[in-house]
Structure 1
Amino acid sequence: MGSTRAATPQIYDVIVVGGGNAALSAALSAQEAGAHVVILEAASREERGGNSRFAGTAFRAPHQGLAHVKTVLCEQALGDSERCSMSPYIPEDYRNDLQSTSHGLNDPVMSEIMIRDGWETIEWMKNKGIQWETTLRKYYNIDTQKEVIIDLMSGAPVKVVGDGEGLIRDWYNAVEDAGIPVEYDCPAHELLTSGDTVYGVRTRQTDKYVDFYGQVILACGGFSANPAMRRQYLGEGWDLVPVRGTRHNTGTMLRRAIEAGARPVGHWGAAHASPQDINAPLTGDITKTPVIPRYSYTYGISVNVEGKRFFDEGEDEFALTYAKIGKLIGDQPRAIAYQIFDQKTLYLLQTRYSSGTPIVADTIRELATKLKINPTALERTVQEFNAACPRPGRGHFDPHHLDGLCTSPSLPIPKSNWALRLEEGPFVAYGVTCGITFTYGGISSDDRARVLNNEGKPMPGLYCTGEIAGGVFYHNYAGGAGLTKGAVFGRIAGREASWRAKTVGNEGARSRPGEEDTFISSSRTVQVNGA
C-alpha cells in the first residue's frame, strides 16, 4: 500500500457526514445548541441533497385533523385546503402502521420517538423555512375531480412545496443563514478511532486525505446506489434495478462504521422498492425521476409478461403498500409488469402518469398483442377477475378509502378493495419496473441517536440518523415515515453531539501534525501527520 498524504486537520465541534434531510436537520440542531458545525457532502453543490433531493417529501406524523394541519401550511397552500378534508391521525394509528408494515419487528423505542416528536419536528422545520402544503396535488388528480371534496390520507398530512428540490433548497437556505460551512465534493472515507471512541472522519480528495476532528454524525444514507452491495444483501437481480435517488449512496461509511465495531441491525435483505415507469433511468435523474412513480395500481390490475396477476392490488391504501410492490415486480419474468385500467378509473390516476406513454386498445386481446403478452392468457386473467368482482349494486366504490369491494374467494389472488370489473374500453396500460429508493439495513443506535457497538454500548463520539440508522423498517414501509425518521433523529443527534462537544472538547485534536499520536481508522492505523 502506498503512503498517504494528509492535509492540515480541520477541527470542529460537530461533523455531519451527508447532505440530505437527516444531515441538515442534524447540522441545524447542533448549531442551534451552540456547536461549531461542518457538513461533509460527497456530491457537488449541483448534486447535493442525497436521496432527499428526489423524494416526494410526504412526512408522516400524528395530528388532530385538517384544522391542525393548516397551522403549518404556507400561505399559498391554504387555498387547496378548501378542496379537501382530513381525519385526525392519532399516535395509535401511527403505531399500528409502523407495526403492520414491518410485521411487528420495528424497534419500539425508535418508533415511539418518531410518534412523539413527529409533529413538533414538522413545526420546527417550518420555523427553519421549510414550506409545507397538503398532498392534494401530489396524489390526487384534482383537475378530473373539480366538484369533489377529497378526503386526504391522514397518515401523510403534509409534503414540501417543490418536492425534493424544494426541501433541499429550503434546508440549504437555512444552513446558509446559520453560517454553517458545507464541504462539497468531500466524500467521507473512514472513521478516526481509538477503541470504540470516534475522534473524527478522514475524507478522500484527489491527491490527499483531509482529516476532520470532532463529534461525528453519520447521515450519509445506506447502500442503494451500490450494485455490488445490493446484489450481496438483497439478492439476485438487485444489481440491475434502477436507482430512484442519488448515485452517492454507496454504503462506504455504513461499512466503515461496522468495521469500527458498530452493530448491524434491521432488514438487510429488504429495501424500499416501488413501481416506476418501465423506462426509468438507471440512476436518479432530477429531470425524470420525480415524475415516474406509478402508484395508482389500486384502481386496476397488474399483470406480468405472462398475463398473470401476482399480488393483491387493493390490499390497503397505496401509501402502505407501494414500497413493497417494487420487489414483487422485480421477482417477475424480465422484472417488468403492466398496470391495466379501464375508462371507469382513468380519471383517478395520479398526475405523474402524464409523464408516461400509455398503451391503448379497444379490446383486451388487442391490448395483449400490443404488450406482447399471449392474448388468450390475458383474456383469461381478465375474465376470471371480472367474474370474481362484485356485481353492480353490491357495495359502493370509494376511491379514497378502503371500500371493501373485494373479489370472491374463487380468485387465487384476491383484490381486497376497489375491485371493479375491467369492461369499459378503450383499455389503458402502463409498463412498470422495480425502482429502489433506499435500503433498510443499517447500524444500531439508541434513543439519543448514539451509535451502539456489538455489545450494545454507545460508541463515544459517534451518532447516526436517516437511512444509515437501521431497526425501524422491515419488509415494507409506511409512506412518509422515512423523512420523518431522519429529521426527528437528526434533531436529537445534533443536540446530543453538541452537548458532548461542550463536555469533552475536541479530544481528537489534542495533537498537531508532526507530533506523535496515532488513531485507528475503521480499516487501518492512521497517523495524524499522514506519514
Structure 2
Amino acid sequence: MAGADSSFDCIVVGSGNAGSCAALAASDAGLERVLIIDKCPAEWAGGNGYFTAGAHRTVHGGLADILPIVHNVDPVQAQHTDVEPYTHEQFIADIMRLGNGRSDPELVRALVNNSRAAVQWLSERVHVPFTLSFNRQAYLVNGRQRFWGGMALSTQDGGKGLIAAHHKALQDAGVQTWFDTPAVELVLEDDAIAGVIVRKAGKLAKLTAPAVILASGGYEASTALRAKYLGEQWVNAKVRGTPYNTGDGIALATAVGAALTGDFAGCHSTCWDANAPSDTGDRTLSNQFTKSGYPLGLMLNAHGRRFVDEGEDFRNYTYAKFGRAILMQPGGYAFQVWDSRVEYADDVVRKIWADTVEQLAGKLEEEGLENRCQFVDTVVSYNDAVRRFQAENASLRWDPAIKDGLSTQSNGFSLEIPKTNWALPIEQGPFLAVKVACGITFTFGGLAIDPDTAGILSETTGKPIKGMYCTGELVGGLFYSNYPGGSGLTAGAVFGRKAGEQAAKLTK
C-alpha cells in the first residue's frame, strides 16, 4: 500500500464513542484526511459504547439547564419533574470519594470542567438524541418524578442510539473508517509519531500520519490480561461489551516508550445476568443483562448469606464495584431477592417465583444455592432487624429518591452487614429471585496523558510524545476501584475532543 491511500492527517485507533469524538473533532478543526481504523468487523463497530445504557454524567444547573438538549420531556412532564443541579464540586467529590482519593486531581478537573461543554457539543454537533432517563434514574414520589444520584441524561435507544449518531456525523464529515484493520505497531521517527503499521486483507501496510489517537479500550476482554492484572478469579468474569478490547493500545504505546498509570488491579464490574454469554456482549440485548435493582432488595450468596450493604449508596455509586463482590463469592454468583412490593419489570432474565421464602430457597437449590436453611435464616434475621429499627424510628418514611436512612441497625439489634438505606422487610409474597454474576465493563489501568492536551506521556521524560494522543477507557489515572455511573462516556467525549483538536493544531 502506498501513495495517497496510505497518507493521512490523523489516524484514530478505535471506532467507539471516544474514538468517534476524536475523529470528528479533528475533522472539524480542519483536517481533511482523518481515518478511523478498528480490528473488529463492521458489524461490531462502536466498541463498548454500543453496549451502554447511554448515561452521561455532567455538571449542570438543574432541569432548566438540560431541558433544551433532551427530546422526551413535554411542558406538562417538566412541571412534575425534579432534577437538582449537579455542581463541579459535587462531580469532583464523587470521583475522588469513590476512588478513595487516588484519582489524578488534574485529570479529574479536566473531565469535570469540560463535561457540560462536551455534552452540549454531542447534542449540537453529533446530534446525539439525549433524553431524561426516567426509566433508570427517577422514582415517582408524591406524584413527581424525582431524579437521584447526580445523573439525569441518557440517550434514546441507549448505546445503539449514541453510536448511530456518531456514525452519521462521521459520514457527513467525510471521515473514513476501515474495519478488519488491526494496528500492529506505531511508527516513531525522531521521537515523534509518524504513522501506524496495520494488517489489512492479511498483509502488513504502513499508514503515515503526524498524529495518532489511541481509543482502543482496555484489556477486559483478554482472559490472560485479566488474570495478570486483576487476579486468576477474573478469568470467570463475563464480558459485558465488545470482545475486541484486549489491551492492544497498551501494547502499542508501551512499545514506543509510553508511560502507564492508574489502577491496573481495578475495573468497572457490575451485577450481570448469570445466564448471559461469557466472553462477549450481545449486540441485540446489549445493556439489558444488567441487574441493578439490588438497592430495593437483598443479595445473598450460594451459602445463603448477605455480603454487601445493598443500601450503602445510590446505585450509581455502587453498581460498578458490586460485580467484584459477586465474583469473590463461592461459585462467583449470587441471588437478588425482592418481595411483591417492588415492581420488577425486567424481562431479559430468568425469574424464580415462590409464595414463601422457604419455597423460594427450595427452588434456588436447583440454581446453585448450597444452604437452604441459612438462606431462610438470613431473610428472617434481616426482617427482624428492619422491624426493630422501624419501631425506634417511626417518623422515617421509605423514599428511593433520597438516602432515606431506613436501616437495619437499631439500638437493640444490628446486623453484621448493615443495610443502610431503603430497608423494608422481605415478607409479602409472592417472592422473586434472579441469579447474577460479575460482568466486567472496562479496566481502570491505562496510559498516562496530559490532562490539557490528551497527549500520551513518555515513560522516560514524563512529557508528551509528539503526535500521540489517547482517549476513552485506555486513559489511566482517572478512576480507582469504583466510579460514578455515567462518567465513562463523558470522559471519552472530553478527552476525545481534546485529542482531535490538538492533533489538528500539530498537523496544521
Shorter-chain TM range is: over 0.9
- Contact kept, 8 Å, 1:281 with 1:289, in 2: the verdict is no
Q: Aligned residue for 1:391?
A: 390
* Aligned ranges 1:105-184 → 2 under 5 Å: 105-128=102-125, 129-139=127-137, 148-153=143-148, 155-184=150-179
| Deviations 1:8-35, CA, capped at 9 Å, x for gaps | 6711111111101100110111111101
Question: Aligned pair 1:342/2:343, yes or no?
Answer: no
C-alpha distance in structure 2 between counterparts of 1:170 and 1:326, whole Å: 30
C-alpha distance in structure 1 between counterparts of 2:239 and 2:23, whole Å: 27
C-alpha distance in structure 1 between counterparts of 2:75 and 2:233, whole Å: 45
Q: Which one is further off, 428-437 or 454-463?
A: 454-463
C-alpha distance in structure 1 between counterparts of 2:71 and 2:207, whole Å: 38
Coordinate RMSD, CA, aligned: 1.7
Q: Aligned residue for 2:262?
A: 266
Q: Aligned residue for 2:272?
A: 276
Corresponding residue SS for 1:354: coil
Question: Aligned pair 1:227/2:246, yes or no?
Answer: no
| Deviations 1:227-273, CA, capped at 9 Å, x for gaps | 11111111122122111111111111211211221111010011100
Q: Aligned residue for 1:208?
A: 203
C-alpha distance in structure 2 between counterparts of 1:244 and 1:81, whole Å: 34
Corresponding residue SS for 1:15: strand
Query: Could you tell me which amino acid in structure 1 is paired with residue 131 of structure 2?
Result: E
Question: Aligned pair 1:303/2:296, yes or no?
Answer: no
Query: Could you tell me which amino acid in structure 2 is paired with residue 461 of structure 1?
Result: G
Q: Aligned residue for 2:422?
A: 418
Q: Which one is further off, 466-475 or 76-85?
A: 76-85
Q: Aligned residue for 2:438?
A: 434
Question: Which of 481, 485, 507 is 1:479 aligned to?
Answer: 485
Question: Aligned pair 1:453/2:458, yes or no?
Answer: yes
Cα shift at 1:7: 5.7
C-alpha distance in structure 2 between counterparts of 1:257 and 1:322, whole Å: 31
Corresponding residue SS for 1:482: helix
Percent identical pairs in the alignment equals 38
Query: Could you tell me which amino acid in structure 2 is paired with residue 285 of structure 1?
Result: D
* Aligned ranges 1:243-392 → 2 under 5 Å: 243-282=239-278, 283-344=280-341, 346-347=342-343, 349=344, 351=345, 353-372=346-365, 373=369, 374-389=371-386, 390-391=389-390
Corresponding residue SS for 1:462: strand
- Contact kept, 8 Å, 2:390 with 2:406, in 1: the verdict is no
C-alpha distance in structure 2 between counterparts of 1:100 and 1:62, whole Å: 17
Question: Which of 37, 42, 48 is 1:40 aligned to?
Answer: 37
- Contact kept, 8 Å, 1:196 with 1:453, in 2: the verdict is no
Question: Aligned pair 1:490/2:496, yes or no?
Answer: yes
- Contact kept, 8 Å, 1:449 with 1:465, in 2: the verdict is yes
C-alpha distance in structure 2 between counterparts of 1:76 and 1:46, whole Å: 33
Question: Aligned pair 1:185/2:180, yes or no?
Answer: yes
Unaligned runs of 5+ in 1: 1-5, 503-531
Query: Could you tell me which amino acid in structure 2 is paired with residue 402 of structure 1?
Result: K
Q: Aligned residue for 1:407?
A: 408
| Deviations 1:495-529, CA, capped at 9 Å, x for gaps | 10110111xxxxxxxxxxxxxxxxxxxxxxxxxxx
Query: Could you tell me which amino acid in structure 1 is paired with residue 352 of structure 2?
Result: I
C-alpha distance in structure 2 between counterparts of 1:450 and 1:80, whole Å: 44
What is the number of residues matched between the two proteins?
490
- Contact kept, 8 Å, 2:137 with 2:148, in 1: the verdict is no
- Contact kept, 8 Å, 2:311 with 2:422, in 1: the verdict is yes
Query: Could you tell me which amino acid in structure 1 is paired with residue 295 of structure 2?
Result: T
| Deviations 1:194-243, CA, capped at 9 Å, x for gaps | 36422111111243112221100001101111111111111122122111
Unaligned runs of 5+ in 2: none
Q: Which one is further off, 7-16 or 174-183?
A: 7-16
C-alpha distance in structure 2 between counterparts of 1:138 and 1:159, whole Å: 9
C-alpha distance in structure 2 between counterparts of 1:75 and 1:104, whole Å: 37
Structure-1-length-normalised TM-score:
0.89
C-alpha distance in structure 2 between counterparts of 1:267 and 1:196, whole Å: 28
Query: Could you tell me which amino acid in structure 1 is paired with residue 405 of structure 2?
Result: G
Q: Which one is further off, 422-431 or 167-176?
A: 422-431
Corresponding residue SS for 2:68: coil
| Deviations 1:137-195, CA, capped at 9 Å, x for gaps | 2345x8xx597312112622211111111000001100011111111111111111136
C-alpha distance in structure 2 between counterparts of 1:195 and 1:459, whole Å: 11
